[in-house]
Amino acid sequence: MKGIFAVLVFMLSLCGCTQQKKESWNYGEGYVVAKENDKVLVVRNKVANINAPLSEILANESDAIWLTVTKDNSKAVNIGDKVTMAITDGIIEQSYPGQAAGTLEVRK
């Protein structure tokens, strides 16, 4: 009986080793996938098909945030650009996609 218990504990410990912990997104960099007036939608990873419907992009991307930016800042970025983000007031609404006020800068 002790042998069966030992094997069971060993097998369960192996199962725990195979799980990969997802690294949290620090909202520092991302890719622009949509723009609406003074809001810009940024996702963490580069999107393979930037012309796909937004619902499809969001279904495949777990990290996304709508940033409310100035009109000049919105005009300075284009869909597909890699950007650096700064959350101006430090508050991120935890909806999906998240929402915050911020600034964007295009990365070269």
Ordered mean pLDDT values, 10 residues apiece, the chain (108 residues) = 51 48 77 96 95 94 95 95 94 94 93
pLDDT at residue 18, as a whole number: 45
What domains, with CATH codes, occur in the chain?
26-106 (2.40.50.140)
| Residue that is written with structure tokens 């409310």 in the block | 68
Whether this model's pTM surpasses 0.85: no
pLDDT at residue 4, as a whole number: 57
In degrees and rounded to multiples of 5, residue 64 shows phi and psi of -150, 150
Residue of 2, 85, 81, 31 lying closest to 10 (CA atoms): 2
